[in-house]
Amino acid sequence: MATISENMQDYLKTIFSLERTNRVARVSDIARELDVTMSSVNGALKKLSAMNLVTYKSYGFPELTEEGLMVAQDVYGRHQALQSFFSDVLGIDEEIAAKDACHVEHAITATTFARLDSFLDFISRHPQSNSVWIPQFKHFLMTGEISPAPECIETCLDVVRAQLTEADGPAHMRLLTDLSPGHTGEVYRFKGDESESARLKQLGLKLAAKVEMVEVGDLGHNYRVRIGSEELTLNRDEAKLVQVIVG
């Protein structure tokens, strides 16, 4: 495939985002989201069509091809992770975080992004993140002061005590292995290390991808899932590494 410019990647990401929310991506909506003219959108869509990344006819709705969908999901996933890091962890205003994510998503290397994604996974699962580390970092930003250690320790203990009596994770979060045939979810995060996450992505699993459970093998040893028009089979260990959002 020819190199896809940052501008064309933005178009693919926008089409993907609009399709998720509106089912279709209208030319007028793409123009509004990217703050460009409709003629610019039409020109870009013709280029993407020539690259076999979208199918598009005048006065119709552009649709991502299988190849275009893979690129769009990759860019969208990077954008979501970066925006989450900027706003949720660093405490940056969401509008600024979104704009900065748009710039960084194109420049960040695969190695650096994989490490950032692992860090986000770590803080989302660590008991001290939301109740201790992130609030204390925001306090440090405002005051330049670090809370006394005893207070931090007691807060950490409170978090651990609470976790002993609470369910693991939000109600809408599930492992891929929890899905029954016919049920769907959206890939949220991979629980494994960098190499395991990279393998899952090579198999076709991307952040924000919609996945449908097609069939669960005997004794739950393997799982056949559908992503777009493609189907793939995961073993139990692989499927347990995939977190999805349902409902």
Set out the domains of the chain in order of their start, with CATH numbers: 6-71 (1.10.10.10), 129-163 (no CATH), 173-245 (2.30.30.90)
pLDDT tens string for the chain (247 positions)?
568 999 999 999 999 999 988 889 999 999 999 999 999 999 999 999 999 999 998 778 999 999 999 999 889 989 989 998 999 888 899 999 999 999 999 999 888 888 888 888 887 777 666 667 777 787 787 888 776 554 555 555 555 555 444 444 444 678 898 888 999 988 888 887 778 888 888 888 888 888 999 998 866 678 899 998 888 899 888 888 998 888 6
CA distances 127 to 122, 131, 155, 191, Å, are 10, 8, 11, 15
Instruction: Find the DSSP H helices in the chain.
Output: 6-22, 27-34, 38-50, 66-84, 94-107, 110-125, 134-143, 149-163, 194-203, 236-239
Q: Look up the pTM and report it.
A: 0.58
CA–CA gap between residue 142 and residue 27 (Å, rounded): 43
pLDDT for position 167: 42
pLDDT for position 96: 95
